[in-house]
Structure 1
Amino acid sequence: MGLLSNRIARESLKPGDHVYSWRAAYVYAHHGIYVGNDKVIHFTRGRGQEVGTGTVLDILLVSSVPKRSETPCPTCNTQISESHGVISSCLDCFLAGGSLYRFEYAVTPALFIAKARGGTCTLATSDPAEVVVHRANHLLSNGFRCYNLFKSNCEDFAIYCKTGLLVAEQGVVGQSGQAISIIGGPIAAVLSTPFRLITTNVYGMAVTAVGVYCASRYIADIGNRRDIVRVEVEDLTAGLATGMVHVVEGGSSQVALAASS
């Protein structure tokens, strides 16, 4: 673990770890929770569950799914081609031939900004390992919404398992570090454009764009947001089952979610 890479050896894995593996030449990463005994619980999209955007992002969506196989894995008996939602698989199936990385929690602001690539760390603090594993197992049995790149993806799932926190806005949960990075680049370019009135130096413009991008990532991180809620996993799945999840109290990040009758 360090500034340049979060890559780890399998021997250092512990139950409750948030792990990920890069897909499609480091364009996108797939995230999950290691629960011990060589098992990872993760949130994925099955065949026909893709969220079409009509853009190049559709390619990224496909790349986030573990490598498909037409036969069940002999180790974990998982048939990836038919799997969707929250699933459990062996570590090899989760990695799909990629390397193993561990997501970092409670990083300092300086380290967070230094790691310019989103989806590798957060300012938020992780809950105890036993709580993390409990959430992952509960969601394995009860589900975690429909997959959506920007609102409810594999990283959102893993971060929720680790922290119990969700972004809540008009019943919507989501926005992971990876999604913010995808959105943040174009936003940085647009917002930095007015600075042409101050300087036409290409280096100055580049520094400004990077600064805007880093600031947007920092502000949007789940450990630094104000529009987040903390919710027990049992309450979350009960609310999702009704299709009506809403905030029942205003205020801080300790607000709860509940099902609407």
Structure 2
Amino acid sequence: MGLLTNKMDREGLKAGDHIYTYRAVFAYSHHGIFVGGSKVVHFRPEHNLNSSSPMEPLSSASSSSEDTCPTFPDCGFRQPNSGVVLSCLDCFLKDGSLYCFEYGVSPSVFLTKVRGGTCTTAQSDQTDSVIHRAMYLLQNGFGNYDIFKNNCEDFALYCKTGLLIMDKLGVGRSGQASSIVGAPLAALLSSPFKLLIPNPIGVATVTAGMYCMSRYATDIGVRTDVVKVSVEDLAANLDLKTIEQAEEEEEEEEEDSDTDFVR
């Protein structure tokens, strides 16, 4: 890994690594936790679990035999009502390149990474804790997928750090989401400078600086509204229902509907 890219070889992978790969010609990246044994735990929208891309619409999803992994029988395992999936590394990458997310980078290095979703100033926890969180969430879920507040990068960041943002109205932990919000915000805030700086290069420099600073301000290692939350208490802190609770509610609803039908 270097300053310009976090690309890595498979031989360098270690259990507990936060990895990602780009989809749709580098339009966005998909993140997960490598847990060893060529397996990755990652988070996807429930309705897209059978599609080739976590952002593909429901109409493109397919459950054909082509989606079945020929190598690992347990590839694609997930609990009902959960978007947390266990996949083999090949199925996770889908012919894409392998990248490793960096932790504990300095502010200067963070600001040189023009693209969000590649690193954080936050420190990673020990490998055992990272894998424990990932496997626990595989069994218990990570709530509803939200592209801005609870996406695959948010999942991997939580597994690595155990940090949870308490401000539920803002952007989540994801660097990608911060970049999506930060770019137009920087352009908007820099627009008054067009009257003061006639040179387009100067305006572009100001806009780029604001964009980088907005990304840095929302980094999970810098924010002050984060707390350490154990994975066993995660559902309570996020106001999420566990998989068991969701199944119980579904059974109760079915029983109520059957009772109403009899009446």
Q: Given the two structures, how large is their TM-score scaled by the length of structure 2?
A: 0.81
Aligned-pair distance for 1:100? 0.5
Give aligned-pair identity as a percent: 53
Summarize deviations over 1:75-104 as a string: whole Å, max 9, x none: 223359x99600101000100110100000
Q: Is the 8 A contact 2:148 2:172 kept in 1?
A: yes
Q: Secondary structure at the match of 1:217?
A: helix
The aligned counterpart of 1:188 is: 186
Aligned-pair distance for 1:118? 0.2
Could you tell me which amino acid in structure 1 is paired with residue 27 of structure 2? V
Q: Is the 8 A contact 1:42 1:158 kept in 2?
A: yes
Q: Secondary structure at the match of 2:35?
A: strand
Aligned-pair distance for 1:140? 0.3
Q: Indicate the larger mover: 231-240 or 157-166.
A: 231-240
The aligned counterpart of 2:24 is: 24
Aligned-pair distance for 1:229? 1.6
Pick aligned residue for 1:91 from 77, 89, 92: 89
Aligned-pair distance for 1:200? 1.6
1:74 aligns with 2:67: no
1:224 aligns with 2:218: no
Q: Is the 8 A contact 1:69 1:79 kept in 2?
A: no
Q: Is the 8 A contact 1:40 1:91 kept in 2?
A: yes
The aligned counterpart of 1:117 is: 115
Q: Is the 8 A contact 2:84 2:142 kept in 1?
A: yes
1:8 aligns with 2:4: no
1:149 aligns with 2:147: yes
Q: Indicate the larger mover: 179-188 or 161-170.
A: 161-170
Q: Is the 8 A contact 1:14 1:36 kept in 2?
A: yes
Q: Which has the higher helix share?
A: 2
Alpha-carbon distance between aligned partners in 1 of 2:109 and 2:229, rounded to the nearest angstrom: 28
Could you tell me which amino acid in structure 1 is paired with residue 69 of structure 2? C
Aligned-pair distance for 1:203? 0.6
Aligned-pair distance for 1:175? 3.8
Please tell me the root mean square deviation across aligned C-alpha atoms, in Å: 2.5
Alpha-carbon distance between aligned partners in 2 of 1:70 and 1:148, rounded to the nearest angstrom: 26
Alpha-carbon distance between aligned partners in 2 of 1:158 and 1:221, rounded to the nearest angstrom: 14
Summarize deviations over 1:35-76 as a string: whole Å, max 9, x none: 000000000113369xxxxxxxxx99329xxx9662221222
Could you tell me which amino acid in structure 1 is paired with residue 162 of structure 2? G
The aligned counterpart of 2:127 is: 129
Cα separation, partners in 2 of 1:203 and 1:169, compared to 1, 3 Å: same
Cα separation, partners in 2 of 1:44 and 1:170, compared to 1, 3 Å: closer
Q: Is the 8 A contact 1:47 1:84 kept in 2?
A: no
Q: Given the two structures, how large is their TM-score scaled by the length of structure 1?
A: 0.82
Q: How many residues are treated as equivalent by the alignment?
A: 231
Q: Is the 8 A contact 1:27 1:60 kept in 2?
A: no
Aligned-pair distance for 1:239? 4.6
Structure 1: give runs of 5+ residues left out of the alignment: 50-58, 245-261
The aligned counterpart of 1:47 is: 47
Aligned-pair distance for 1:182? 0.8
Aligned-pair distance for 1:201? 1.0
Structure 2: give runs of 5+ residues left out of the alignment: 243-263
Structure whose alpha-carbon radius of gyration is higher? 2
Aligned-pair distance for 1:240? 4.9
The aligned counterpart of 2:198 is: 200
The aligned counterpart of 1:61 is: 55
Cα separation, partners in 2 of 1:60 and 1:44, compared to 1, 3 Å: closer
